[in-house]
Structure 1
Amino acid sequence: MQEGLLFHSRYEQDGADVYAVQHVFDVRGALDAARLRAAVRALLRRHPNLRAGFRQVDSGQTVQLIPRQVELPWEESDLSSLPAAEAEAELARIAAKEHARRFDLAEPPLLRFSLVRLAAEHHRLIMTTHHILLDGWSTPILVRELTTLYGSHGDAAALPRVTPYRKYLGWLAGQDRPAADAAWREALAGLEQPTLLTPVDPTRAARMPERLTVELDEDRTAALADWARRQGVTMNTVLRAAWGLVLSRHTGQDDVVFGTVVAGRDPQLPGVEAMVGLFINMVPVRVALDPARSLRSTVTRLQEEQTRLTVHHHLGLARIQQLAGTGDLFDTAMVFENYPWDETGEPPDTELRIAPDLGRGRDATHYPLTLIAAPGRRLYLRLDYRDDLIDRDTAVGLLDRLTRALTIVTADAERPTGRIDLLTDEERATLSAVPDRVPRTAGATLPGLFEAAADKTPDTPAVVCDGATLTYRELDERANRLAHLLTARGMGPEHVVALALPRSADLVIAVLAVLKAGAAYLPLDPEYPHARLTHMVTDARPGLLLTTTATRDHLPAVPGTPVLLLDAADTSTDLAGRPTHSPATVLAPDHPAYVIYTS
């Protein structure tokens, strides 16, 4: 994860530093500012990795450089003389200014503190760090230690011995890389495409997101937690499944991938739960939706799949995407925040109360869309979105669909996923209000509709290509001649005719002719690999292949499939003698019209 954050910091120099993280703490009680500053200094002495900078050595490798000591960036402001509203505005300005100052990751320390006095016994402590130093789990640990160090006047003997971050790095280096490669390769096998909501643009400048928040009420939250407990799954898995369903409906894909932040704190490493540093990793979550499978079984299957991958969460995202072979797998992320703030409890001899002011914190990712969830008596959901890529209405709709999906989990989990409707009442009402301007064509066929148009406007241009123009009458007559030739070759309803033709007027004529004959057309792109074309022809078993002399040379051999060369002299002679009226084939709307092999 540090490697990825370092890359983004070096690469995205022009936009905002989205990985600058800011925490604001509400400090109550009689405060000695010098004593608090000394306690912070003691934290930096206690945890060497908080003094880390990241530099490239002569070999090109990037290393963490740990100075023996660093100068603590510390500022103080006194706003106690200002009216409350002005003080709050000034506090916000100070926090924004601190957050906007970019860190140079080669120059430690990568954290800054601002202490703001609001009243005699009320302060706010602003801690701005780069995410490369700390994860969310570390912050409550630091606050507990800071409170203890303040009470002990900076004496670290009052705290347990630190388990150094170096031990985690040693553990990480000793993991079974081939086994992790194999596990992720298997987990992503068969994935045909990434899940991207916005165009890929490596040159896009970073930008701080807009934010939407919603909380489920206590009853719905309790019902969701109870359902998860009874199914033997985590709330995190329930949210992953629901978010996968939302992305599936939004993209039209039934096999979706998004990123998720995992804790990375392996319980096999002694003391890991109390260690300070960056342990998290971003890994893909794949949600393959079978429309016939119930929502409940989808959730339980996802839990099983994710559990198998837990021991391989250490593998870097760049390597995982390399194994998948599809480039960027996703552009949306999900974070399930379950940090131990409820364990903070101050030591009995401290006169300070330090608590997070959660509404003032700043954190983000570089993804266009990030979902943040936090458990509690009311499930907290936050959607961060780049408003230059995703408009507010779309973001609101996604969050509404998520809450609807979570409601269905507890109300009707046995419903097949293919029958889950995530439209809101407002969206459904809007769709119902759209006037029906589509002409009634019950029982009509495409050739019949085309012929009606040709009768009505015979001299209107129908096809324009490479400077040539065909009117509706000309297109109809030429398609009819070819359709008669096809029926003479035995092509009709329930047959398939393959078309390997360049983009031209002849391609339009051929498509219409096949439909007039009652057959289905199978487009073949001559640029496809021979193995791909061979599979398509072998699988579809067309009764005839229409192509040209030049294109035929680029196609694989198709034994058993007759070939009709449209530009051959004998074909031209045959067509000239065919009738210009439509063949007398009896067509029905339920006859196959088109065969396509998707990517």
Structure 2
Amino acid sequence: MGNSLLPLLAAQSGIWYAQKLAVGEPLFRPGEYLEIHGPVDTLAFRAALQQAVDESETLRLKFLESADGPMQYVAPHVDADVHVADLSALPDPRTAAERWMNEDLGRVPDLLTERPFSFALFRLSADRHLWYHGYHHIVMDGFGAALFARRVAELYTAAVGGAAAAERRFGGIADLLLEEKEYDCSDRFGQDEEFWRRERDADPAREHGNWPPLAAASDFERFTTTVPADVAAALRTLSADLDVSLSRLLIGLTGRHLQATSGTRCAAMELPVTARTTPLARSTPAMMMNGVPLTLTLPPGITLPELLRHTADRVRNVLPHQRFRGEFLRRAGGLRPVVNVMTFDYSLTFGGHPVTAHNISKRRIEGLSISAYTRTADGPLLVDFDVNRGLLEADEPAAQPQRLVRVLEQAAELAGTAEHTSFPVDGLDVLSAGERSLVLEDWNDTALADAAGAGQVVERFEAWAARTPDAVAVSCGGRELTYRELAADVDRLAGHLQARGAGPERLVAVALPRSPELLTALLAVLKSGAAYVPVDPGYPAERIAGVLADAAPHAVLTCREVLDADT
């Protein structure tokens, strides 16, 4: 193609500027190593790797900055430059190899002067080798890396077998740019934009789970667990019993985990997608992946088949619109846990020797990323929890993978039974026996040593006010109320509410900011015999309207400050 200057793909552009803002931070370094269970001919491997690079334009990209922004061109040749090391004499060769790989992934290449990829081949023993391939996301995503790895395996296997490899033509960057431009100018783009606008407006999770983004890669930590092969096999059987794909089953069950641990009736997540909707895109190693929001609704009593049908319908609904860039969607929808389910077959062979893939990516983790993947059609299921520790309690990250695995194991037990057709999703418990005992017994051990102090909230408040009438009961923003003053305010407001019909079996909504008046209102509602409905004045107006419509309160207690805020 020569040195024709080309703009960046939309996915590349987002990464370019994000990396510019995070100088030196390895936020966009996907990588893995393939464990080859057999001997490797180093010369044949080098030749196969070089040919695959020659065939792939994305690995021959060079970047430069211009007055029109970042640009790229395809160099005619780039040296594959594989690092080869024999570690077989070391006491722990795998650890030494992984240390080298992690150090490489922790380094950010200068995109203007350095290759945006790294290769290494480590010899652990005569019949055990590790091929590491790491990239900068600006040139490669996971789908593209799998295409590239498969081509290297094809070329190597043909070479050591003395045969000619089948010809393969990867797509080119200019062709991808042309398809992208055609999409951006098409009716399809407008339809996708309108679809996502409607999704956003109707999303029940809009007010939930918008964690503040954290960019520091150092906060990222991975917790990996393995779902045994027999449990994974049972999940495959269950997916067949329920006529749903394994990936949809895993997305739905992960949704149950998120819903149970968030305390809401929906599971909001971001779903990574390939964004490859054309034959050209599906045949091109490059950076094209996208992320789209997905919300599952789990009302009380929903059964497992109902959840999985709902999951399949929701995924089927959003996938046709996956080309619309997720960067625009995240601006409007906030931060969500990323749920990445990869069930594609990665059963490569090198010269007839099987491989096991190990993911070691370093990525930007703003909150929580859950990756569930299988590498063979009948093997175990691996689950990675990548966590930004700044958002969770110290003991939470290590416990979360086991809670998801607990859900998967309970679902697996339903395979082949009649119960799977009507099992309630609420019955899939995320808590261990110890955690359940802690919640139901230890935290609920509220017996009082002083029986005289027992009683209803208002009775206990009034008893305390009688004992210490001049003590400070409330202090807020420089204001103070004694128990005597607070009790008098409560009595007045409770009488006012009762005079207007508040009482048992009636609801009173309380929409007040944190203040002495809020405490007065809550106690007064209880003293009137009614129950209160807390309404956060900080909620969006639509959310408040929905709460009030559902609760249909007898009265609403609020203040001028809230009314003037147009909520």
**2:324 paired residue number:** 315
Give the CA deviation at 1:518: 3.4
- CA distance 1:506–1:85, change in 2 (3 Å): closer
Is the 8 Å Cα contact of residues 276 and 323 (structure 2) preserved in structure 1?
Answer: no
- CA distance 1:510–1:358, change in 2 (3 Å): closer
**2:7 paired residue number:** none
Is the 8 Å Cα contact of residues 74 and 113 (structure 1) preserved in structure 2?
Answer: yes
Is the 8 Å Cα contact of residues 506 and 553 (structure 2) preserved in structure 1?
Answer: yes
TM-score normalised to structure 1 length: 0.76
Structure 2 residue 45 is matched with structure 1 residue 46 = no
Give the CA deviation at 1:288: 1.3
Structure 2 residue 439 is matched with structure 1 residue 457 = no
**1:406 paired residue number:** 408
Is the 8 Å Cα contact of residues 512 and 562 (structure 2) preserved in structure 1?
Answer: no
**2:72 paired residue number:** 64
Is the 8 Å Cα contact of residues 212 and 382 (structure 1) preserved in structure 2?
Answer: yes
- CA distance 1:427–1:506, change in 2 (3 Å): closer
- CA distance 1:70–1:251, change in 2 (3 Å): same
Structure 2 residue 348 is matched with structure 1 residue 337 = no
Q: Secondary structure at 1:174's aligned position in 2?
A: helix
Using the alignment, how far apart are the partners of 2:543 and 2:338 within structure 1?
34
**2:273 paired residue number:** 262
Query: Which deviates more, 178-187 or 239-248?
Result: 178-187
Structure 2 residue 486 is matched with structure 1 residue 475 = yes
**2:3 paired residue number:** none
Give the CA deviation at 1:345: 4.5
Q: Secondary structure at 2:113's aligned position in 1?
A: coil
Using the alignment, how far apart are the partners of 1:145 and 1:524 within structure 2?
58
**2:81 paired residue number:** 73
Using the alignment, how far apart are the partners of 1:372 and 1:469 within structure 2?
52
**Matches for 1:42-121 after TM superposition, within 5 Å:** 42-60=51-69, 62-79=70-87, 83-85=89-91, 87-107=93-113, 109-118=115-124
Equivalent residue letter for 2:295:
R
Query: Which deviates more, 143-152 or 436-445?
Result: 436-445
Is the 8 Å Cα contact of residues 58 and 140 (structure 2) preserved in structure 1?
Answer: no
- Once the two structures are superposed, residues 329-385 of structure 1 have per-residue CA deviations (whole angstroms, 9 ceiling, x without a partner) of 41x21222234432x345xxxxx5665453474454424322222233322222233
Is the 8 Å Cα contact of residues 172 and 314 (structure 1) preserved in structure 2?
Answer: no
- CA distance 1:189–1:288, change in 2 (3 Å): farther
Equivalent residue letter for 2:424:
P
- CA distance 1:14–1:197, change in 2 (3 Å): farther
Give the CA deviation at 1:109: 2.8
**2:6 paired residue number:** none
Structure 2 residue 46 is matched with structure 1 residue 37 = yes
- Once the two structures are superposed, residues 500-546 of structure 1 have per-residue CA deviations (whole angstroms, 9 ceiling, x without a partner) of 87765455445434443335567788899999989988997877777
**1:232 paired residue number:** 243
- CA distance 1:131–1:25, change in 2 (3 Å): farther
Using the alignment, how far apart are the partners of 2:42 and 2:514 within structure 1?
79
Using the alignment, how far apart are the partners of 1:415 and 1:205 within structure 2?
41
- Which residue of 195, 200, 204 maps to 2:212? 200
**2:436 paired residue number:** 428
- Once the two structures are superposed, residues 26-70 of structure 1 have per-residue CA deviations (whole angstroms, 9 ceiling, x without a partner) of 38446243x54343332222111211234443223x443222223
Give the CA deviation at 1:246: 0.9
**1:415 paired residue number:** 423
**1:127 paired residue number:** 133
- CA distance 1:533–1:179, change in 2 (3 Å): closer
Using the alignment, how far apart are the partners of 2:144 and 2:538 within structure 1?
54
Cα RMSD (Å): 4.1
Query: Which deviates more, 134-143 or 354-363?
Result: 354-363
- Which residue of 12, 20, 38 maps to 1:10? 20
User: Structure 1, unaligned stretches of length 5 or more?
Assistant: 347-351, 557-598
Give the CA deviation at 1:135: 3.1
Using the alignment, how far apart are the partners of 2:514 and 2:39 within structure 1?
77
**1:211 paired residue number:** 223
**1:284 paired residue number:** 293
Is the 8 Å Cα contact of residues 473 and 483 (structure 2) preserved in structure 1?
Answer: yes
Using the alignment, how far apart are the partners of 1:197 and 1:392 within structure 2?
19
Query: Which deviates more, 175-184 or 354-363?
Result: 354-363
Structure 2 residue 191 is matched with structure 1 residue 179 = yes
Using the alignment, how far apart are the partners of 2:50 and 2:537 within structure 1?
69
Using the alignment, how far apart are the partners of 1:553 and 1:340 within structure 2?
58
Using the alignment, how far apart are the partners of 1:37 and 1:117 within structure 2?
14
Using the alignment, how far apart are the partners of 2:285 and 2:562 within structure 1?
66
**Matches for 1:478-497 after TM superposition, within 5 Å:** 478-484=489-495, 486-488=497-499, 492-493=503-504
Is the 8 Å Cα contact of residues 333 and 370 (structure 1) preserved in structure 2?
Answer: yes
Give the CA deviation at 1:235: 0.9
% of aligned pairs identical?
Answer: 24
Equivalent residue letter for 1:259:
E
- Which residue of 378, 382, 385 maps to 1:383? 385
Using the alignment, how far apart are the partners of 2:393 and 2:541 within structure 1?
43
Q: How many residues are treated as equivalent by the alignment? A: 538
